[in-house]
Structure 1
Amino acid sequence: MSPHPQSKKAKAAKAKRAKARTTQEPDKPASMHEARLERQIEQRRHQARKGRLRRIRNTALGVVALGVVAGGGWLAFRPDPELAGVARPSNRGGGHVAAADYDSPTPTSGAHDARAPRCGTYREPLNPAMAVHGLEHGAVVLWYDAARPELADELIDATDEWDTHVIISANTGIDRPVVATAWGRIKAYDAADPEITEFVRTYRQRGPERLTCDR
């Protein structure tokens, strides 16, 4: 049976309940404040993690971009390959003249004939002034001793993989079986050996004017 509302026991129970509410209610705002602080701290941690990841990503992208630029620069300015034993005579310039004069039977640069030769094989000596014009267009000229006509066929076989920018010509003024020339490059050989193929592969189409020259 419940105590009478006005009894001492009822009053004591009511006072106890009120005291309990008074004791608990101040803790509620404190708990809410702590929860808000924890959320703010977690948000700051999350933002910090995102910032670190963003910096790492940007650094990685920067390294990749730098590598691409450096690689592209290296490709753009990479020097052309050179072969051992290939001489590099002084560049005597270019230009067209009516009559050219050279100090070598196998010139590699200089003023030259206005007519450019067709690439191919010349069993009669090609005019050196026309040959230099061919060199200017990126052709390789392989001179062979006119006293050894069989060298022409050997040089044709050695260079049959190229349809353009190769000239093979007899020459009466050389003292070696074969003299290979390109613009600004020259090397003599004792036979139509495989090294001549490498000369053609390395120096073909490296003249100052890279124009068509079909064989």
Structure 2
Amino acid sequence: MAKRRTSGIQRRERASEDALNKRLDGSSGIALPDWRLLLIGGVLIVGVIILVLVLLFASGPDPSAGTQLANDGSEHVAVGTTCRSAQAPCGPDPYSSLPAASGPHWDPSGLAQWGAYSTPQNESQLIHNLEHGGVVIWYDPEQVDADGVSELTSYVERQVSAGISGRFKFILTPWGGEGELPAPIAVTAWRQLLELDTVDTGALDAFTRENYGLAPEPNGGPGPPG
């Protein structure tokens, strides 16, 4: 009698298991997906999308760095020479950009002091300051109003006097050379050019972070004022 009762219990357990499996499988015989698999799949898809976006943005040019220009050399010429006027020994077309960001420039005795100028400085002079890792901000006095000039002046004077993050090599000058600037404001570092339609100190900060000191002679003078 004990054996028959045990066999009956085992048959009922198997029947219960079979019924449970049928309910899980459903009428189609296909098991429903586990919610955990759905969650893992969703996380993987989101991760792939993020990776693709990161790669796309990383491979594109950084607008804050400006445009990289050709290397026009670093030949020294006599102080007072204006190379864009094709004065000897510069030769014709010594610069591939306007304003120039490399190329023939005054010898070391003609380095400009860092700071803001109200009168146009010689382009061939300031290239040497670029070679020493500085940033030169040119502006068209006919397109930048007095408020804009004042804001640029304050920006440069603050940088030069405070040496923010160790950066003090800045020059601001109106454009007075041959030809017209490509934009109301043209910001140059060695072989780099950023064009601005209006004063944008955020863009100036970003350009500086990307390019300041990236020049053949970054330790060259003049030193900080005072």
Identify the TM-score tier after normalising by the shorter chain: 0.5 to 0.7
Distance 2:154 2:115 in 1: 12
TM normalised by structure 1 equals: 0.56
Look up the match of 1:121.
Answer: 116
Residues 171 and 149 of structure 1, relative CA distance in 2, 3 Å threshold: farther
User: Which of 144, 148, 153 in structure 1 is aligned with 2:150?
Assistant: 153
Distance 1:83 1:181 in 2: 16
1:91 is paired with a residue of what secondary structure? coil
Q: Which has the higher contact order (CA 8 A, sep 6+)?
A: 2
Look up the match of 1:36.
Answer: none
**Can you list the C-alpha shifts for 1:100-120, whole angstroms capped at 9, x where unaligned?**
233544100001111111111
Which amino acid is 2:181 matched to?
I
> Would you say the 8 A contact 2:70–2:96 is kept in 1?
no
User: Structure 2: any 5+ residue segments left out of the alignment?
Assistant: 1-60, 85-94, 162-167
Question: Which moves more between the two structures, 201-210 or 113-122?
Answer: 201-210
User: Which of 87, 90, 99 in structure 2 is aligned with 1:106?
Assistant: 99
Residues 93 and 103 of structure 1, relative CA distance in 2, 3 Å threshold: closer
1:196 equivalent in alignment to 2:175: no
Residues 96 and 87 of structure 1, relative CA distance in 2, 3 Å threshold: same
Distance 2:111 2:145 in 1: 24
Q: RMSD between aligned alpha carbons? A: 2.1
Which has the larger Rg? 1
Distance 1:199 1:117 in 2: 21
Which amino acid is 2:128 matched to?
H
Residues 208 and 149 of structure 1, relative CA distance in 2, 3 Å threshold: farther
**Can you list the C-alpha shifts for 1:125-180, whole angstroms capped at 9, x where unaligned?**
11000110110011100111122352332113334244420011101431422111
Count of residue correspondences = 134
1:135 is paired with a residue of what secondary structure? helix
TM normalised by structure 2 equals: 0.54
User: Which of 211, 214, 225 in structure 2 is aligned with 1:206?
Assistant: 214
Distance 1:196 1:125 in 2: 20
Which amino acid is 1:97 matched to?
V
